[in-house]
């Protein structure tokens, strides 16, 4: 029996009402197989099943316990045979693996989580984003844009012509881009010389190109869904490309040599001249979620499943020639994942699950380790106030 056949059998089986049978089957399978001892091969956007002997044993348990196990039991068994590892959960956020500082946007406003896990509230802003080296944050609320120090002290305030929805600091710290209404504007890091770069853009976060010397180049999605690269100071158009599908996210590689455009069903990589290097198609039944680029060639991507509540975090490697090998899944969770970020040393990933109200820290070194923090929304309420909605990740920096 192939792994695909076993997957279909698990998914196709109907439910019965014997929850005791579920528990007995689960205990047998857990004792018969330990995910930590499995060896698996990676194929495109999935992890293969272990050895055939283990597969036969699992099928035997299924048939012996119940002729039609519940969907939940099938999911548990998929977990046990290596499709995911259940994280160790704790109710309180402790220290951050590998240190650094984490910027978090909550319904009450942005917070900074320090290396020891202690949070600092920055104020009642809609959201915020880091400056380079974590020296400042740029925060916004309605039509107001402000630069703050890490203690929340206001350095300067700018009033935009419309509601600000996103802002990003350039890699050298000398420029800030922000979308106000449908306009993409640029302001100097000290709050001076605000000017419009494009009058109509899509609500996609612009991406500053790193390592460009004194030039400030920024990629964004225009009103037609095309990707443009412009000089933010001279307003010069450097190139424009028309992707097959308008992207939802743009990411430059840390060395500034590749631009990753993420659409619902396709990943595309372009070089600094706007030439397409490679594409990767998301398999049927899935859509691409948020992604994060680590130093080197590694990309972390959330993969949403359309037909079942089980999202995955996969790793891809993409150099200047394209995608080097098949994606590797490091987490499959039975809930919706909405955010992903790398630790400063790129040895850990942090995934956010608003539906489960938890964060999951993933060590990407071998062996993989998962640590979860539950009830995460409770830890970002200023003065104990009740707020609606989960916190979102806004950058993990040194």
Give backbone dihedrals phi and psi of 43, rounded to 5 degrees, phi first.
-120, -175
Q: Whole-angstrom Cα distance, residue 246 to residue 26? A: 44
Does one domain contain both 259 and 387?
Answer: yes
Does one domain contain both 142 and 157?
Answer: yes
Does one domain contain both 239 and 191?
Answer: yes
Q: Whole-angstrom Cα distance, residue 241 to residue 147? A: 33
Helix/strand number for the chain, H first, E second: 4, 32
Strand 339-342 vs strand 42-43: parallel, antiparallel, or unpaired?
Answer: unpaired
Pull the structure tokens for residue 193.
């010389």
Confidence at residue 387, expressed as pLDDT on a 0 to 100 scale: 66
Does one domain contain both 95 and 73?
Answer: no
Does one domain contain both 306 and 214?
Answer: yes
Opening angle at CA 394, ends 133 and 289, nearest 5: 130
Report how far apart the first and last C-alpha atoms of the chain are (Å, whole number): 48
Confidence at residue 255, expressed as pLDDT on a 0 to 100 scale: 95
Q: Whole-angstrom Cα distance, residue 311 to residue 332? A: 6
Does one domain contain both 167 and 270?
Answer: yes
Does one domain contain both 64 and 117?
Answer: no
- Specify whether the CB–CB gap between 89 and 373 falls below 8 A: yes
- Specify whether the CB–CB gap between 210 and 252 falls below 8 A: yes
Q: Whole-angstrom Cα distance, residue 325 to residue 338? A: 25
Confidence at residue 22, expressed as pLDDT on a 0 to 100 scale: 42
Q: pTM for the full model?
A: 0.78
Say how many domains are in the chain. Answer: 2
**Angle 19-32/52-65 helices, nearest 10 degrees?**
160
Confidence at residue 135, expressed as pLDDT on a 0 to 100 scale: 95
* Domain-ending residue, one of 23, 49, 83: 83
Does one domain contain both 222 and 308?
Answer: yes
Does one domain contain both 156 and 48?
Answer: no
CATH number for the domain spanning 233: value is 2.130.10.10
What range defines the domain where residue 37 resides? 3-83
* Domain-ending residue, one of 29, 58, 83: 83
Confidence at residue 1, expressed as pLDDT on a 0 to 100 scale: 52
Q: Give pLDDT tens digits along the chain (398 positions).
A: 544 444 444 444 444 444 444 444 434 334 333 333 333 333 344 433 343 344 434 444 444 444 443 344 334 334 433 444 555 566 678 789 989 999 999 999 999 999 999 999 999 999 999 999 999 999 999 999 999 999 999 999 999 999 999 999 999 999 999 999 999 999 999 999 999 999 999 999 999 999 999 999 999 999 999 999 999 999 999 999 999 899 999 999 999 999 999 999 999 999 999 999 999 999 888 999 999 999 888 999 999 998 887 899 999 998 888 888 788 999 998 889 999 999 999 999 999 999 899 999 999 988 888 999 999 998 898 876 776 688 999 999 99
């Amino acid at each position: 029996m192939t792994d695909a056949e076993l997957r279909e059998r698990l998914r196709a089986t109907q439910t019965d009402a014997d929850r005791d049978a579920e528990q007995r089957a689960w205990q047998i399978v857990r004792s018969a197989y330990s995910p930590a001892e499995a060896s698996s091969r990676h194929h495109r956007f999935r992890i293969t099943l272990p050895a055939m002997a283990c597969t036969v044993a699992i099928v035997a348990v299924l048939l012996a316990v119940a002729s039609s196990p519940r969907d939940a039991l099938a999911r548990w068994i998929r977990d046990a045979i290596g499709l995911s590892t259940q994280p160790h959960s704790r109710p309180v956020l402790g220290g951050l693996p590998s240190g650094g500082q984490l910027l978090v946007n909550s319904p009450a406003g942005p917070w900074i989580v320090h290396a020891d896990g202690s949070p600092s509230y920055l104020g009642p802003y809609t959201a915020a984003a880091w400056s380079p080296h974590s020296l400042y944050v740029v925060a916004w609320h309605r039509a107001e844009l402000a630069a703050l120090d890490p203690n929340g002290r206001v350095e300067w305030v700018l009033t935009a012509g419309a509601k600000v929805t996103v802002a990003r600091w350039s890699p050298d710290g000398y420029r800030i881009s922000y979308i106000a209404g449908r306009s993409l504007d640029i302001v100097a890091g000290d709050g001076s010389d605000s000017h419009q770069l494009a009058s109509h853009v899509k609500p996609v976060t612009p991406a500053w190109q790193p390592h460009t010397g004194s030039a400030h180049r920024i990629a964004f999605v225009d009103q037609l869904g095309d990707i443009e690269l412009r000089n933010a100071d001279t307003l010069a158009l450097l190139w424009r490309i028309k992707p097959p599908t308008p992207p939802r996210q743009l990411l430059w590689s840390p060395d500034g040599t590749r631009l990753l455009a993420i659409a619902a069903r396709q990943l595309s990589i372009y070089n600094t001249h706007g030439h397409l290097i490679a594409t990767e198609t998301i398999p049927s039944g899935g859509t691409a979620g948020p992604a994060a680029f680590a130093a080197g060639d590694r990309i972390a991507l959330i993969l949403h499943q359309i037909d079942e509540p089980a999202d995955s975090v996969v790793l891809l490697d993409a150099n200047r020639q394209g995608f080097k090998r098949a994606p590797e899944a490091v987490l499959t969770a039975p809930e919706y994942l909405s955010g992903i970020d790398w630790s400063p040393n790129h040895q850990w990933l942090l995934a956010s699950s608003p539906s489960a109200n938890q964060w999951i820290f993933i060590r990407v070194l071998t062996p993989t380790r998962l640590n979860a923090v539950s009830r995460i929304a409770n830890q970002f309420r200023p003065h104990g106030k009740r707020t609606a909605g989960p916190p979102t990740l806004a950058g993990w920096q040194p």
